Structure 1
């Protein structure tokens, strides 16, 4: 039996990481055996701790290799999987990431059966689609929906330059919050067919039920009312980076006049906040914080007369427009995403009830957001945090 602390630090860290990430319970159990051995536990103590027999523990402690997790798999369950050689598996993992058109096929995606058929031509090894599927799952592949990508429309140089500028703004906002504030502004997100992404862009909540996945007994599906209702709540809002403060406005319609009015309200909110700290109102223009607004390229955001009015009336505000097709750089997208998830599968009787709930979520602290989350279906799914 190995001596206590027989694992070096790197081996121990790798096993601890594998213990968290491994999906198969039996492999997690065998990883735990090695960690307990490393702590000085005997095989009998490990068996009692895990709740199994000594005969189950002993072979893995003797023959398992902590540096090779595949040695902790039960070879008796491989079955026909052994027909797949190492070369076959490597070729499979390469081809599955390739476009089928590269091999002369008309279809647009690989299925397990199509992969099995193609690889039989390439290698002469015949496997079923289910066998190929098992290999892919063991290699951490999953069969899920493809996502829409904006990469082909994005200018990488512009995105890189903007990200560097944004990072510098965020750094200054952290170091000197009294001198500079960074706000993410938006009024646009789409809730499936319930919220239309229109131009001008405003954030809209429809009375039609937002359908999302929910727990239900196997073989049954949860039903929600699919009837369309008239009524819609539109929102414009901003999110401050440092403290994640949200300021959201219920609006009738998104246009340049509305945008200008809501921007003035945000400016006044920040001004009053600054005055409440003991500063003089007349000093705000010169001594107040510079307000960086990160926003998209909606036509009414960039209207010439609106920009001129902002520069004249709100000199503390500086508008920084995102590169085209870069919603993943706008942190407030996560607010809209979280809000629509929160009200999913709920039916609202009228517009007033919907507006009340939306206001509670966005302005009264009713919405708790996991800021580390990535933005789904937003280009590269990378956010500014």
Structure 2
């Protein structure tokens, strides 16, 4: 071994591939009993590997431009070609999201692991990194404590969400103590807590479809779910960054109806009808009507159905988030993703301080940064 990768998620495995293809003898150390657990979990409902968008539009979905050269090297086109090269054909859905024909992550992972094995990559599971031991890297392993001193190391340890799958951010104090600047983690692509009254309980688990969600100046169309804990689902995740930063949430529950047509419908309603009956006659679903009953009773009816304010009680906890914002700061690494404070150690994936929506952006960036870090690490003596 002369190259060590710590973390066997998508970023770490891609770094290992790049190192091995450059002729390095690679060992991957993984804390869990099996590899790529979060990757496989993400693929249970259909593995969204990327989005079939032009590169400029794709890259614009990230919160900063520092990943641009990495996405240029391994963006949507390259992801699709890589999947096909592993014997996993892909297709783009109507939204542009790209999936393997097999839909699940396991066939792609099996083919990838076979390729890595053919390149001589050795994967050691149940090897948990315990921080530094002088200039070495200490591990708790089934064989006892081990201290490794590889020529080059790539860290691919994930962020701070879904700790049970391996992303527990245990590495933060170890790097911080060595002078690495780390932006505190925050949840991203997460649900929000809502203080419901008891009458909402019968609507828990129901989806609101066809609404437009407003978070400050951002407007998204998407489905979301009313749960016992609040609001969650794709529509909410799409505006989660703005909501986390304090933008108010308002809902247009009838965005496809012109204001003149809405005014005509409202004029036909009987003032003697109950609010529930009027909402039903307007055509709202039971769960959408319940939201108006919950938060719009004191508002003019046209405002209640087109600009319903929803009070939020903060985001769901960090460990429940699909992804995270924050991580190792851009200023803490070189252009090749080498830690300035720790020469010879490179970083990639969700450890880095970037944020993106769901829809293939997260996985593509993990692969792109892993490839970038691995290729630059391979050039080190």
Same fold, TM-score > 0.5, yes or no: no
Which structure's CA Rg is the greater one?
1
What TM bracket, shorter-length normalisation?
A: under 0.3
Higher strand share: 2
Q: Which has the higher contact order (CA 8 A, sep 6+)?
A: 2
